[in-house]
Amino acid sequence: MKHDIEKIYTLTQQELHDYVIDYISQFNEEIISIESFFIISAPKQKAPYLVAHLDTKYDVTPYEVVLVNNKKYEAYDKNGYRCILGADDRNGVWTMLELYEQYHDKLGFIFTWNEEKGCVGARNLVVQYHPFLKENISYYVQIDRRGTKDLAYYSTYDILMNQNFRLKLEDFHPYRVVPGTSTDVKYLSACAKVSSINISAGYHYEHTTSEYCEYEYLLNLPNTVIDLINHLGYKDYPLNY
Ligand SMILES: [Zn+2]
């Protein structure tokens, strides 16, 4: 583990933004950062892009994070009561940071602000970087789905889904392809007219004080994401417009 997940759970959105910028700036990739909206790290060529969001629901910052029986993370506030852990979506951000050193020249990385407030960062990204998204992105993998078994797609784009992309996803065991409700790639995908999928990030009961994270699943998540990318390949999956 290169990055301390327990520390990442306790950072505010602003602090996590600064942490990400500090870390990725030491590598040579082109970095676009518009504070309050998004960070993009772009390799030189067209590529698959990973996406996660920097904020947590209600901007809750845990006072203490506990690893229970080496199995799951839970969070507590100052008074010793359970609180939101923020594994939604700190698990996604942590996974991308773990992969960054090895993959920054092969994959794109997008960290968004304020997904929980209505995908504010992603929607601004779409407005400000429309041509960039169209030219540079083969497909998106967001790391922001609850549980440990899902590959979620966004129902609005059901009929537009690239069939080869769908077949590949259905063949990625033991995951199941399910409809999701909303997240950043819903907007990003429509803008670039490319396929996207949102993979389980290992948390349960997000947005509640019962939120917890499956530790073992999280530890394997960087490898799982790379397995998924290798399975899909470094090629384009346009939507069927
Ligand atoms: Zn989320």
The domain that holds 15 is classified in CATH as 3.40.630.10
**What is the per-residue pLDDT across 11-39, written as a single tens digit (0 to 9) for each?**
999 999 999 999 999 998 899 999 999 99
Phi, psi of 215 (to 5 degrees): -60, -50
Confirm whether 73 is domain-assigned: yes
Identify the pLDDT of residue 157.
61
Tens digit of pLDDT for each residue in 33-60?
A: 999 999 999 999 999 999 999 999 999 8
238 belongs to a structural domain: no
> How far, in Å, from the CA of 73 to the mean position of ligand 1?
17
Give distance in angstroms: CA of 115 to centre of ligand 1. 7
Q: How far is the CA of 142 from the centre of ligand 1 (A)?
A: 10
In terms of DSSP H, where are the helices of 83-236?
A: 87-103, 120-128, 130-136, 163-170, 184-192, 215-232
pLDDT of residue 95: 98
Ligand 1 center–CA 25 separation, angstroms: 25
pLDDT given for residue 155 in this prediction: 63
**In 3-state terms, what secondary structure has residue 213?**
strand
Q: How confident is the model at residue 104 (pLDDT cuts 50, 70, 90)?
A: very high
Distance 234 CA to ligand 1 centre (A): 26
| d(CA 122, ligand 1 centre) in Å | 12
Q: How far is the CA of 207 from the centre of ligand 1 (A)?
A: 9
Output the pLDDT for position 241: 74
Tell me, in angstroms, the distance from the centre of ligand 1 to residue 218's CA.
15
Number of domains in the chain: 1
Ligand 1 centroid distance, CA of 116 (Å): 7
Q: Does residue 52 lie in a domain region?
A: yes
| Chain center to CA of 194 | 17
In a domain, 112, yes or no: yes
Condensed to tens digits (0 to 9), the pLDDT of residues 142-186 reads 999 999 999 999 866 667 889 999 999 999 999 999 999 889 999
CA of 42 to the centre of ligand 1 (A): 22
Query: Of the ranges 154-163, 194-203, 227-236, which one carries the lowest mean pLDDT score?
Result: 154-163
Q: Using the CB atoms, write b or e for 183-197: b if 16+ within 10 Å.
A: bbbbbbbbbbebbbb
Cα 170 to Cα 29, 117, 145, 195, 224: the distances in Å are 33, 31, 17, 14, 15
Place of tokens 């429509």: 190
For tokens 């939120």, name the residue: 211
> Measured in angstroms, how far is the CA atom of residue 93 from the centroid of ligand 1?
10
The reply to whether 203 falls in a domain is yes
- In the block, tokens 């993979």 appear at 199
Domain assignment present for 240: no
- Overall average pLDDT of the 188-209 stretch: 95
Residue 66 is part of which domain span? 5-232
Mean pLDDT score of the chain: 95
Ligand 1 centre to CA of 87 (Å) is 8
Q: Is residue 237 part of a domain?
A: no
pLDDT category of residue 240 using cuts at 50, 70 and 90:
confident
CA of 52 to the centre of ligand 1 (A): 8
